[in-house]
Amino acid sequence: MPHVRANGLDIGYEVEGAGPPLILLHGASSSGREGFAAQLPLFRRAFRCYVPDARGHASTRWNVDDGFRYEWLVDDLAAFSTELGLATFHLVGFSMGGATALGFAVRSPERLRTLVLAGISADREPRASVARRLFDPERIRLRDPQWARDLSRRHDPDQGEGAWERLLPAIARDVAAHDLPGPGDLRRIDAPTMVVVGDRDPFVPVDRAWALRRQLPDARLLVIPDCGHEVARRKPALFNEALAGFYRSTEAVARRRAEAHAGAGRTTPIGRAEAWTSSLGDSGASAEPDVDWLEEASR
């Protein structure tokens, strides 16, 4: 796995495919590769996919005893994309990655070609309450030992043994404390946006996702039926098909946004016109995992 030095971190990431740049940001406790395993086989056909690990996760080493803040994740994304020469790009964020993507979109809307926000809202609750309960290490060890083993396998090699037991509570504390975007902030996000939510998401009720969609200038809402929080993993075929349609329908706008940014004196890889219908015509992964860990953990 390559690393890039950005914002004082050695950020581990994977890169696949060719085409316009697409950055995918995973959720809390996961990793880039695992978080989007069902999406990469499809989207690398049409995009150059960059999949970083967030600080304190998997290959991006960070001592969480020094703190963990959402604003730092936005700084990390800005530095990561700049260091790789990506002046504009498509952006997908899930859960914690969705909060990062939303914060970046507020700060630098002109750098986005399109935006996908999955499993996130602009409200603190119920996200903070659910995170505080589910990210309790003692509860995980006692009630979900398989998840505890997965966390150790994923994070221990680079973060140190048991680092996830400090990471998850730190994330939960930040969810309860970090600054939230207001209506004026959200109106600045002018890139084509898709808001995605499962109809049974314990973190983001559908009405909160709808409220976020209504405050964005150019947004649409996808509600995935019979699905909890992890929409991309739990319902990969539906998620992939919807995003493929979104990218096909917004291709012209995305190209204009990239060209406008380049015309303003900035350099950016615009890429050739993509054959979207053929490149993204097959939604890929049709198999669905047996259970969403968040649904299981919330029982």
pLDDT in tens, 95-148: 999 999 999 999 999 999 999 999 999 999 999 999 999 999 999 999 999 999
pLDDT at 282: 54
pLDDT at 262: 82
Residues 173 and 140 sit within 8 Å (Cβ to Cβ): no
Residue 172 has pLDDT above 50, yes or no: yes
The tokens describing 162, both together, are 């048991």
pLDDT band at 264; cut points 50, 70, 90: low
Model-level pTM?
Answer: 0.91
Q: Count Cβ atoms below 10 Å from residue 177 Cβ, excluding itself.
A: 11
Full strand arrangement of the beta sheet holding 112-118: 3-6, 9-16, 48-52, 21-25, 89-94, 112-118, 193-198, 219-224
Q: Which residues contact 34 (CB under 8 A, 6 or more apart)?
A: 26, 154
What CATH number is given to the structural domain containing 60?
A: 3.40.50.1820
Residues 186 and 108 sit within 8 Å (Cβ to Cβ): no
Strand-pair category, 21-25 with 9-16: unpaired
- What is the domain range of residue 254? 3-297
Provide the domain count of the chain.
Answer: 1
Sole residue written with tokens 């221990």: 156
Strand-pair category, 9-16 with 48-52: antiparallel
DSSP structure class, residue 279: H
Fill in the amino acid letter for 262. Answer: A
